[in-house]
Chain A
Amino acid sequence: DIQMTQSPSTLSASVGDRVTITCRASQSISDWLAWYQQKPGKPPKLLIYKASTLESGVPSRFSGSGSGTEFTLTINSLQPDDFATYYCHQYDTYYRTFGQGTKVEIQ
């Protein structure tokens, strides 16, 4: 299985900050990577797919980049609604795997 490693596990930030989350794959997945946001008691919400394509309706302060084994999710000017847990997810194979999650907390 392809292992996905996210860092950091927890991130403390303030409203208005720029935050970056990193995701590394154990082997190349080209750009078959998605990012999700999850809030407590809710299902994950798709933010980005194909590493950098913003899902319709997602604010433009979210952006993704990377290919191969290294990927990043950037949130520019963090908003109160952005405090949540974020997961990366590879779909290079049907045997999907997820990163362990990054919790973005209020500093």
Chain B
Amino acid sequence: EVQLVESGGGLVQPGGSLRLSCSASGLTLGGFEMNWVRQAPGKGLEWVSYISSSGSTIYYADSVRGRFTISRDNAQNLLYLQMNSLRAEDTAVYYCVRLRMYSGLPFDDFWGQGTLVTVSS
């Protein structure tokens, strides 16, 4: 059974840092492009960041660029999101999402269960 499991969430003060991890079972993460997507409590979905399968190509949403860093360790089957200078508006459930290639473009097909990040004093 394919599983993506996020960890590392929790309560952090504004201006603080957290590192999220996403571990995979039942699949080799290194074969897939990945996204982080977040969802604020009671709100919709917001794409955060993308990383290619090799880690050589990375994109960020404007709302997190310069504060968040996506990375991966394919040997360890892990995906990361380093979050610095956290703000109250970063409070959300963070999902790691696998991308599947179909007909030329990758789409988000499988989501982890998510980890909650709460930024509050």
Contacts and interface: CB of A to CB of B under 8 A. Distances in A.
Contact of B105 (A32, A42, A45, A53): A32
Interface string A75-98: 000000000000101011011111
A46 B108 contact: yes
Given A43-B95, A43-B114, A49-B102, A95 B47 contact: yes
Contacts of A101: 44-45
B46 interface: yes
B47 A55 contact: no
Q: Interface of chain B, helix or strand or loop or mixed?
A: strand
A49 B46 CA distance: 18
Contacts of B108: 34, 46, 89, 91, 96
A91 B99 CA distance: 10
Interface centre among A34, A46, A92 (most CB of B within 10 A): A46
Contacts of A50: 102-103, 107
Given A34-B108, A43-B111, A44-B45, A96 B103 contact: no
A95 B61 contact: yes
Interface residues of B, number: 22
Contacts of A87: 44-45
Contacts of B68: none
B110 A46 contact: yes
A8 B104 CA distance: 31
Interface string B72-110: 000000000000000000000001000000110111111
Nearest to A1: B62
Interface of B: 35, 37, 44-47, 50, 59, 61, 95, 102-103, 105-114
Interface of A: 32, 34, 42-46, 49-50, 53, 55, 87, 89, 91-92, 94-101
